[in-house]
Structure 1
Amino acid sequence: MGRVRKVLTGRLAVGALVLAIAGAGFGLYWFQPWKLWQDETVDEALPGVVQASEPPAAAPSGKPSEAPSPPARPQALASGELISHEHATSGSVKLVRLADGSHVVRLENLDTSNGPDLRVWLTDAPVKAGKAGWHVFDDGEYVSLGRLKGNKGSQNYTLPDDIDAARYTSVSIWCDRFDVSFGAAELARA
């Protein structure tokens, strides 16, 4: 009887060890805690900003040719400052109409923590400070503009053509894995 008890106790110990290792592996995959110490900086230029051009060339008659009309420039339609929610977050957000009529959400000087599944959301939710703002963004309408390119820097996120940008009032850096906002900005119309 003592030998049977030792065998059962050994099998239970091995089973518990296997479950503990599997649980630790799943926890590491799910939470990805190392990302809290890894920064990814992305610095993109605003699309459609034209650099200074050369002066107009002279026409064959020797007179300078007429300068073409200046190209349309991007126009900021709304902007706001990011506030912290789940993680310390700072920077500014702009909703910009480009010269071709398309729209982008631009994050400038973003500084937040990295996370396992961060997205940029354009939402109709109000921005609330503190813990009250953690879970409000998935209650209303939102458009996911894609994965956050980097947790630091300046980045652009293109709005789909069928989206009416005027219907949305805020931007959130959203952790899709844990359904929580890292930070958000209320968009004030220009």
Structure 2
Amino acid sequence: MLIVATLVLGAGLYAFQPWKLWQNETVNEALPTASAAPGPASSSTAAGTTAPPSPSGPQTLAQGALISHEHSTTGTVKLIRLPDGSRTLRFENLDTSNGPDLRVWLTDAPVKEGKEGWDVFDDGKYVSLGKLKGNRGDQNYEVPADVNLADYTSITIWCDRFNVSFGAAALQAA
């Protein structure tokens, strides 16, 4: 009987990892820099006019404020295009609970407040950008080149183990 109780307790601790609720992992990454391909500052068009140079810095394509779902979650999220054309999803001032198996997803689901928002994100289309690096701070996630951003309207910090959103943000064009 003691062996069974120990196994059940061990399995429960592994599944829930309750100690993570008291452990914070802060990640403070700078916005990635990518150099634009060298080339002329401007180019001639067929009509003989000069086209403006491409932007020299990062461009915010969309952004949103995080709302809480299963756990209190605050901060902002931005989709950023770097000068080389690559795209990054960036959390700024993120603050949420730590948990087991947290992922960052781009989704096509609407962001709903409260319990109604917990389970909507795995019902439709989503792309996992990887494991959440930390539950606090500023962090970056590369968006694969083949992802059509027009197909995705929100992000979620998703607990894969329990199929629940810790927090989410609707993305609005910048």
TM-score bin (small chain) = 0.7 to 0.9
Other-structure match for 1:136: 120
Other-structure match for 1:4: none
> Gapped runs of 5+ residues in structure 1?
1-15, 51-68
Q: Distance in 2 between matches of 1:73 and 1:112?
A: 30
Question: Is 1:44 matched with 2:29?
Answer: yes
Other-structure match for 2:156: 172
TM-superposed deviation, 1:165: 1.3
Which of residues 44, 60, 64 is equivalent to 1:76? 60
Question: Is 1:26 matched with 2:19?
Answer: no
- Count of residue correspondences: 157
Other-structure match for 1:10: none
> Among the aligned pairs, what percent are the same residue?
68
TM-superposed deviation, 1:166: 1.8
Q: Partner letter of residue 149 of structure 1?
A: K
TM-superposed deviation, 1:18: 1.1
TM-score by length of 1: 0.80
Q: Distance in 2 between matches of 1:189 and 1:103?
A: 14
Higher strand share: 2
Other-structure match for 1:117: 101
Q: Classify the secondary structure of the residue corresponding to 1:100.
A: coil
TM-score by length of 2: 0.87
Higher helix share: 1
Q: Partner letter of residue 47 of structure 1?
A: P
Which of residues 150, 156, 166 is equivalent to 2:140? 156
Contact 2:90–2:139 (CA under 8 A) maintained in structure 1: yes
> Gapped runs of 5+ residues in structure 2?
36-52
Q: Distance in 1 between matches of 2:121 and 2:31?
A: 26
Other-structure match for 2:45: none
- In our comparison, the structure showing a higher alpha carbon Rg is 1
Contact 2:34–2:84 (CA under 8 A) maintained in structure 1: no
Other-structure match for 2:41: none
Q: Distance in 2 between matches of 1:32 and 1:182?
A: 15
Offset from partner CA, 1:37-93 (integer Å, 9 cap, x none): 00000000111278xxxxxxxxxxxxxxxxxx8971110000000000000000000
Question: Is 1:87 matched with 2:97?
Answer: no
TM-superposed deviation, 1:35: 0.2
